[in-house]
Chain A
Amino acid sequence: MAERFSAFSFVDRITELEAGTRAKGQFAVPEGLPSFPACLVAEAVGQLAAWVAMDHTGFRRRPVAGLAGETRFLGEVTPGQRLDLEVEIESCDDGAVAYGGCARVAGAKVLQLGHCVGLMLPLEDFDAPEAVQGRFQVLRETGVPGGRFRGVAPAELLVIDRRPGERIRAAMQVPAAAPFFADHFPRRPVLPGTLLLDSQIRLAVGLAAELPRPGTSPLSPARVTDVKIRSFILPGQAVELEAELSRVGDVAEAALTARSNGKQIATGRLELASREVAQ
Chain B
Amino acid sequence: MAHREITKQEIQAVYPTVAQILADALGCDVDRVKLDASLIEDLDAESIDFLDLVFRLERAFKVKIPRGKIVEDARGDLPESDFEQKGYVTEVGLKRLREFLSEVPPERFRTPMKSADIPRLFTPETFCKVVVRAQRAAQGSA
Contacts and interface: CB of A to CB of B under 8 A. Distances in A.
Interface of A: 66-67, 69, 95-96, 115, 117, 119, 228-231, 257, 263-264, 267
B46 A67 contact: no
A240 to B, nearest CB: 13
Q: Chain B interface: which size bin?
A: 10 to 19
A66 to B, nearest CB: 5
Nearest to B46: A230
Contact of B48 (A67, A69, A115): A67
A22 B25 CA distance: 29
Interface string B24-40: 01110000000000000
Nearest to B28: A264
A263 B44 contact: yes
B46 A96 contact: no
B53 to A, nearest CB: 11
Given A67-B55, A95-B67, A119 B27 contact: no
B34 to A, nearest CB: 19
A117 B47 CA distance: 12
A228 B48 contact: yes
Nearest to B44: A263
A58 to B, nearest CB: 20
Question: Which 4 pairs show the lowest CB-CB distances between chains A and B?
Answer: A264-B27, A66-B48, A230-B46, A117-B51
* Interface residue SS majority, chain B: helix
Contact of A119 (B25, B44, B48): B48
Given A96-B67, A257-B27, A119 B51 contact: yes
Given A119-B47, A257-B27, A267-B27, A228 B67 contact: no
Contacts of B26: 264
B52 A67 contact: yes
Given A264-B27, A267-B27, A96 B49 contact: no
A95 B67 CA distance: 9
Contacts of A267: 27
A230 B49 contact: yes
**Best-surrounded residue of B25, B27, B48, B52 (most CB of chain A within 10 A):** B48
A116 B44 CA distance: 22
B48 A229 contact: yes
A52 to B, nearest CB: 19
Nearest to B48: A66
Nearest to B47: A119
A95 B44 CA distance: 20
Contact of A67 (B27, B51, B67): B51
11 contacts: A66-B48, A67-B52, A96-B51, A117-B55, A119-B47, A119-B51, A228-B48, A228-B49, A230-B48, A257-B27, A264-B26
A263 B49 CA distance: 14
B52 A228 contact: yes
Nearest to A96: B51
A67 B51 CA distance: 9
B114 to A, nearest CB: 15
